[in-house]
Amino acid sequence: MLFASTTNLRTSIALVGQPVKRFILDETYLLRHKFAFRCSSTHTQRYKIGVKYIGTNLSGFTKSSEHILPSVESVVCRALTGFLKGSKSSNKANDAELNDTDIEDSWQNFRASSRTDAGVHALRNSFHVDIIRSINKSAFSPAAVANGLNNYISQQSWKSKRTSQHMNSKTRSIVITDATKVDSTFDARESATSRVYVYNIICPTTQAFEQFKHRISYKADESATMALAKDHIITHHAFFEEHRAWCVYKPLNVKAMQEAADFLRNDSIETDYSSFQNSGCNSSSPMRTILKFEVVEIPSPSSALVSIAVRIEATSFLLRMVRNLVGVLVAVGKGTMSAIRAKELLKERNRAKVLSKPAPAAGLFLQEVKYDSNVLKRHATNKELL
């Protein structure tokens, strides 16, 4: 009797277990095919997007650089999410055929061409991103993406580093400049052929330096003297350039700086720039090719000042490479280092031997990321500029 009961119990369990097992198999099947179903029900469009920004109150481009202040990437990514959610609400209001079962718009594969540091500005950086939409929705036009991102960027706010005021749409720290439809093989970073940086320097003319150095109390400590001189230059001659240039308190020898730049360019030959690479650089090789390295005087905001622009173009750069190179040029311009010594530092391939102060972030601008025009035409499918 006990045996029969046990058998019946096992039979009952087996019978009950069959639909449960079948249900589990169905669930597994659905999970396995969920991705394939999504892919067959969606289409993906990659966009190359241009962006400019004032880096004073940003922690840099990438999210990994964030501390108190936001990064360009985090602000743009939040705008992407807001834009796509906003487009869903708009579609539901305007299209009766859309319903709650439609796959939500989403984005993935965000990648920047250049990862600028905290405080560094960009006249034009670029990134690519994939936007995924339901198969029954057309891809966004480039203008819609650019305008939509600008709208949602302007709605964000964060506290300024220098004041307690919030940064918002009135400050316009980040602006999307244009968008282009490209195919999925385009890569904003890998497809770039070179990057161009400009570093702005302001220093007094020799005559002005002789005049105002008697107005300030020179200290035995050079750093204290430099602080007083810089304050004088900014207050009386370069108020609006404080966060856009390096204010150097001594006149600079532009000719000597160009001589040093020519040595450091090394005839545009691929060269080991270990001496100008900061620790923490994740590059696998210190070899880089500098294509152009120019030091030129530009129109100054004051007759008492000399404005200098250092333009450098390379295939790519190491961590803080531009700022370290400019620091050496300024040391040469001041006369505390010779142009020949700059050449020796390059050959020594030793960061510890470079004793000059790195240039501050405030004067550095990413001017342009270059792409081969033929390659870009091959990738591009449609383009709309703002």
Q: Which residue has the tokens 């270990």?
A: 274
User: Which range has highest mean pLDDT (6-10, 225-229, 270-274)?
Assistant: 270-274
Mean pLDDT of 115-142: 95
Predicted confidence at residue 376, as pLDDT, reads 79
Cβ neighbors of 310 (< 8 A, separation 6 or more) are: 198, 199, 201, 257, 261, 293, 294, 295, 326, 329
- 256 pLDDT higher than 90: yes
In terms of pLDDT, which residue wins out, 248 or 229? 248
Task: For the chain, list the domains and their CATH numbers.
Answer: 42-190 (3.30.70.580), 195-368 (3.30.70.660)
Residues 177, 183, 187, 191: is their CA dihedral positive or negative? Answer: negative
Residue 230 has pLDDT above 90, yes or no: no
How confident is the model at residue 103, as a pLDDT? 79
A 10 A CB-CB count for 47 gives 24
- Which DSSP state fits 337? S
pLDDT one-digit tens code per residue, 2-38:
444 444 444 444 444 455 444 444 555 544 554 444 5
Q: Which residue has the higher pLDDT, 150 or 383?
A: 150
pLDDT single digits (tens) 148-198: 999 999 988 765 554 445 555 445 799 999 999 999 999 999 999 999 999
| CB atoms near residue 151 (< 10 Å) | 15
133 touches 105 (CB < 8 A):
yes
- Asked whether the whole model's pTM tops 0.85, one would answer no
Q: How confident is the model at residue 249 (pLDDT cuts 50, 70, 90)?
A: confident
**What's the CA gap between 61 and 64, in Å, rounded?**
9
pLDDT range class, residue 250, cuts 50, 70, 90 = confident
Single out the residue of 191, 184, 174, 222 nearest to residue 114, CA to CA: 191
The 10s digit of each residue's pLDDT in 47-94 is 999 999 999 989 999 987 777 889 999 999 999 999 999 876 655 545
Residue 265 pLDDT > 50 = yes
C-alpha 237 chain-centroid distance: 31
What pLDDT score was predicted for residue 228?
64
Which pLDDT score is estimated for 270?
Answer: 95
Measured CA to CA in angstroms, residue 76 lies from 119, 126, 173, 175, 368 at distances of 17, 12, 12, 9, 19
> Does the structure show a pLDDT above 80 at 370?
yes
Contact (Cβ atoms closer than 8 angstroms) between residue 80 and residue 179 = no
Q: Average pLDDT, whole number, for the chain?
A: 82
> Alpha helices of the chain — where are they, by DSSP H?
2-41, 72-94, 142-154, 206-212, 222-236, 254-265, 321-334, 339-348, 373-379
Res 226: pLDDT: 61
If you average pLDDT over residues 234-255, what whole number do you get?
80
- The pLDDT value recorded for residue 146 is 97
Q: Is 9 left (phi over 0), alpha (psi -120 to 50) or beta?
A: alpha
Rg (CA), the chain: 29
* Structural contact between residues 305 and 208, judged by C-beta atoms closer than 8 angstroms: yes
In the predicted structure, residue 339 carries a pLDDT above the cut 80 = yes
